[in-house]
Amino acid sequence: MDKDLSPRFGREDVEIIARAPVFQGFFTLLRVRLRHRLYGGGWSEEFERELFVRGAAVGVLLYDPRRQLVGLVEQFRIGALARSGGPWCLELVAGMVEDSESLESVARREVLEEAGIAVDGLHHIRSYMPSPGGSSERIHLFCALVDLQGAEGYFGLDQEHEDIRLRVLPLAAVLEALETGGGEGCAIDNAATIIGLQWLQLHRTELESNH
């Protein structure tokens, strides 16, 4: 049994033949012509794929270990227009990483903009690619231990058309929804929030004892 999780091939086993923008707006879409090595030997034929180009993003789970409260943001999401529960989603605080910014500084900036809270310490959860079949985006998740008493309110930047509601919820209720929910009607149905909450389930005892 192979215990090595590393893929057989790497970047050097892909040949990019052409790369051209199909669309450039709020996001960028590229058409890429390429070929790559095959498991059976040799190279594939040339073929095309569209690539949705997004840079790195940061997501922050807000947790109050003293009161066992979770802070999530509720806001309109264009990708959820057809969702049966409607396009307002419960999510982690999140934002895109700009050039030369550290992940930690982005996390602190976004928590201040979207929740009005100044954050000191951050616990790194993990990073992952949400949809590598067609998108270049990588998300970096953190947990911030904060005081959420009386923290609910409305936030966001007008110039970015943000209308954000900070929700403060009992951890027990959030975890119950995570376990019993699912499907398009569930309020918590995006990967970053689910991963962050599952991490909290595993590490909450440690976080609460050290706080």
User: Would you give per-residue pLDDT tens digits along the chain (211 residues)?
Assistant: 778 899 999 999 999 999 999 999 888 999 999 999 999 999 999 999 999 998 899 999 999 999 999 999 999 998 889 888 889 999 999 999 988 889 999 999 999 999 999 998 899 999 999 999 999 999 999 999 999 999 999 998 878 778 999 999 999 999 988 887 755 556 788 999 999 999 999 999 998 887 7
Characterize 81-115 residue by residue with b for buried, 16 or more Cβ atoms within 10 angstroms of its Cβ, and e for exposed: eebeeeeebbbbbbbebeeeeebeebbbbbbebbb
Give the CATH superfamily of 56-210.
Nucleoside Triphosphate Pyrophosphohydrolase (3.90.79.10)
pTM above 0.85, yes or no: yes
Active site residues: 160
